[in-house]
A and B are shown apart, each in its own frame.
Chain A
Amino acid sequence: MRNRELARLSIFAALIAVFGLMPRLDIPFAAGVPITAQTLGVMLAGLLLGPRLATMSVALFLLVVACGAPLLSGGRGGLGVFAGPTAGYLVGWIFGAFVIGFLLVRIRMKSPFLAALSSSLVGGILVIHLIGAPWLAWAAGLTLPQAFLASATFLPGDMLKAIAAAYVYRLHHARVSRSERNA
């Protein structure tokens, strides 16, 4: 691996942490449901790094958390979160980031915003919930519909994050293509 790739995936792993720790970026949407910007970091990694680096970046972030760094939203960390009932969502992030990066380069859409939005919706929401909810059902002894219902309380926040990620991607895309034209 080149140092350039290594630095980039490390800095995005750190960005995922920072998005989760930013207290003022919390979206006060549904009271009691902790909606943080952390998965926004996962989506952005998928959109801006491509499938391979994004997968490694999210896996690296989770490795740092597993080693005891309190970098998950709310200052959680350590091995406990991987033994908890919601660990499936964390594992889902790895696959989600991959799918986002994978879809983005394959979707043929004129608008970069819509391409980023649709890959964030599939990879950043659908994939993560499809892994997280069955895991929750299995670990907590719930039925699948119950687990998906519990999972669905996060949907409004997730939608907002997918839109935000696509917005950031569009601006980034415009910036990059502008500097390429000037070069």
Chain B
Amino acid sequence: MIRGYISGSSWIHRIPAGVKLAALALITWALFWTERAVTTGPALCMALALYLSVGRSAWGRLRSLAFLLPVFAFIALLQVIFSGPEASFVSVSRLMTAYLLADLVTATTPMMSMIDAFLWALRPLKFLGVQTQSIALAFALVLRFVPFLMSDWERRREAWRARGGRGAGWVLVPAWIADVVRLSDRIAEALDARGAHNDSRSKHAKP
């Protein structure tokens, strides 16, 4: 499993999340307009140098990206056959650079700074009636639900196996989904009871 954030205090860690995201978007956008190896080759080297500047933990992360190599090898092979070696190098080095830079931002930005930066960028959604504090609440609920649903599913499957069930347990899914929907209604009641108002049209909504 790839870890998200690597704690540390390198110079990249200290750049604000929003600046990193904006820089990443700009560089990635520029990268896909280049068609020449003289640009993409050095870009890849610079991305690797950035990893080096973060320190040891970032190098360890590079090794864990080995699972991507088959994909890149497949693309490189197709490109060499159909478009020649230079086009192949450009495509693969460009993809690798984009991936490495994006992953570097993830590695050096705590999840909470990241969501804050995204919520700031999503503020215009207010005109569509979506409040950013609703997104923040939903975000927190997802993070809480994932481990809960995982263990709930495992519990059901074990109970089923203990009664002689075999295989992956597909037959359990429909009843599980029904219970999950029911659970979400209870969560909503709990939110109501605790005074979380997310309805911008409701007269009870916070100003």
Apart from A24-B157, A80-B103, A143-B82, list 8 A-B contacts with CB within 8 A.
A2-B199, A6-B138, A9-B138, A10-B184, A24-B168, A25-B170, A80-B99, A172-B177
B181: which A residues are within 8 A, CB to CB? 8, 11, 48
| Interface positions of B (Cβ within 8 A of A) | 1-5, 24, 28, 32, 67-68, 71, 74-75, 78-79, 82-83, 87, 90-91, 95, 98-103, 105-107, 109, 111, 114-115, 118, 129-131, 134-135, 137-139, 141-143, 145-146, 148-150, 153, 157, 168-170, 173-174, 177-178, 180-181, 183-185, 187-189, 191-192, 196-200
A68 touching B4 in the complex, CB below 8 Å, given contacts A3-B192, A60-B138: yes
Nearest B-chain residue to A64, judged by Cβ:
B142
Of chain A, the residue at the smallest CB distance from B202 is: A2
Measured CB to CB, the closest approach of chain A to B165, in angstroms, equals 12
Contact of B153 among A22, A44, A164, A168 (CB under 8 A): A22
Given A6-B191, A60-B139, decide whether A171 and B199 contact each other with a Cβ distance below 8 A. Answer: no
**Interface SS of chain B:** helix
In the complex, the answer to whether B71 meets A85 with C-beta atoms within 8 Å is yes
User: Are A68's CB and B134's CB within 8 A?
Assistant: no
Chain A 150-183 near chain B by CB (<8 Å), digits 1 or 0: 1000000000000010011001100100000000
Decide: A83 and B153 in contact? CB cutoff 8 A. Answer: no
Known: A3-B192, A79-B102. A70 touches B2 (CB 8 A): yes
Do A68 and B141 touch (CB < 8 A)?
A: no
When distances are taken between beta carbons in the complex, the residues of chain B under 8 Å from A175 are: 178
Bound-complex Cα distance A24 to B98 (A): 32
The reply to whether the CB of A107 lies closer than 8 angstroms to some CB of chain B is: no
Known: A78-B102, A171-B174. A141 touches B79 (CB 8 A): yes
Inter-chain CB contacts under 8 Å: number? 189
Q: Does residue A17 face the partner (Cβ distance < 8 Å to B)?
A: yes
Whether the pair B114, A68 counts as a contact (CB closer than 8 A) is yes
Pick the contact of A10 from B5, B74, B138, B168 — CB < 8 Å? B138
